[in-house]
Amino acid sequence: MDKTCWVITDGRTGIENQAKGLAEAVGLATQVKRVHPRKPWSWLPSLIWPPITRRWNPLSLMSAPEEGIAPPWPDLLIATGRQSIPYSLIIRRLSEGKTLTVQTQHPRIPSHCFDLVVPPYHDLLAGPNVEPIIGAPHCVTPEKLSAAAKEFAPFLAHLPRPLVAVLIGGESKAYRFSPERMETLCEDLAALARIQGAGLAITTSRRTGEKLEKILAQGLDGLPIFLWDGRGPNPYLGMLGLADHILVTVDSVNMATEAAATGKPIYTLPLPGGSTKFRRFHRDMEEYGATRPFNGRLDTWSYRPLNEMTRIASLIRKRLGMS
């Protein structure tokens, strides 16, 4: 019988893609389960959720029927995000250890509660069942980059070389992104186009916001750019696959890690703020050789594409007796 895999998340795209990326690397057909615990369970820390017995499954009270959290339990469970943690603990218990439970990110509870924890190095989590990675899990592969580059090449064919992919995030708990900062960013990008003759392929995120997007569009008006407006197919992977250089704002671990899967030079664009964890992450990326702080110029360097998913997927496959 083929082995089965579930991905459990709260539905947020960024973290769901992390878990799905790891599942894809393992190579199993996967069902995605988006969970939204009912109150009061959603208010409680994971370790004090209701006790589990053979006669009583608390999932019946905590989950909506449409979430489909019911046996038969999968061979592999990959979960991410705070709300997924109680489900991992319960399924591990109810499956009597037959489900291999893998938690990405730092779970904020003892790592021995899971079979494997895959946090970023910058979370400084250690333990016998902990396998840290640089950055975050993701879905970017050489095959996807190649296919997307072919698909979106016509959309970017009018841009001169070098082609620079610009990945712009937004305001977060750690970083501020003011209109003034967007204006100075536009000046830096305009200089790349005017002085170095670069073409700019730009995408923003949901956190960027309409106000900053308007400043961006106005500040680069008349220059050789492609600015995705959110309509039509998402060109993100195509931009990564076609770019000669990549610029990414410092607020996003996901975007920087995904960009590093290309093996192309990545420059980080500063924002006011930061945190100890983010500083550790950017130090790790610089030491790996993937990123450098943006200094206004485009240099060329190379490094081995960052592909932590292959290493972690191999460990999981061995635990499942697949290789």
Domains and CATH numbers, the chain: 5-139+309-319 (3.40.50), 142-293 (3.40.50.2000)
pLDDT at 230: 85
pLDDT at 18: 87
Residue 125: alpha-carbon gap to chain centroid:
19
If you count them, how many residues does the chain have? Answer: 323
pLDDT at 93: 87
pLDDT at 68: 78
pLDDT at 32: 93
pLDDT at 87: 86
Query: pLDDT tens for residues 219-260?
Result: 999 999 999 988 889 999 999 999 999 999 999 999 999 999
Q: Predicted confidence band at 198 (pLDDT cuts at 50, 70, 90)?
A: very high
The mean per-residue pLDDT over the stretch 262-269 comes to: 98
pLDDT at 285: 98
The mean per-residue pLDDT over the stretch 166-183 comes to: 96
State percent of the chain over pLDDT 70: 91
- Strands of 291-293's sheet in order across: 225-227, 199-204, 163-168, 245-249, 266-269, 291-293
pLDDT at 22: 93
Q: What is the mean pLDDT of the chain?
A: 91
Residue 113 has pLDDT above 70, yes or no: yes
Cα–Cα distance for residue pair 293/308, rounded to 1 Å: 23
Lowest mean pLDDT among 192-201, 224-233, 283-292: 224-233
Query: Which residue type occupies 6?
Result: W
pLDDT at 85: 87
pLDDT at 213: 96
Cα–Cα distance for residue pair 198/153, rounded to 1 Å: 16
Please return the burial class of 272, using the count of CB atoms within 10 Å of its CB with bins 0-12, 13-18 and 19+.
Answer: exposed
pLDDT at 173: 93
Lowest mean pLDDT among 48-57, 143-152, 216-225: 48-57
The mean per-residue pLDDT over the stretch 152-180 comes to: 96
Q: Could you count the other beta carbons within 10 Å of the beta carbon of residue 65?
A: 8
Query: Which residue type occupies 138?
Result: H
The more confident residue out of 171 and 65 is: 171
Are the C-beta atoms of residues 287 and 281 closer than 8 Å to each other?
Answer: no
Query: pLDDT tens for residues 3-55?
Result: 999 999 988 887 888 899 999 999 998 999 988 777 766 666 666 665 555 55
Backbone angles phi, psi at 52, to 5 degrees: -105, 130
Chain position carrying tokens 């708990």? 173
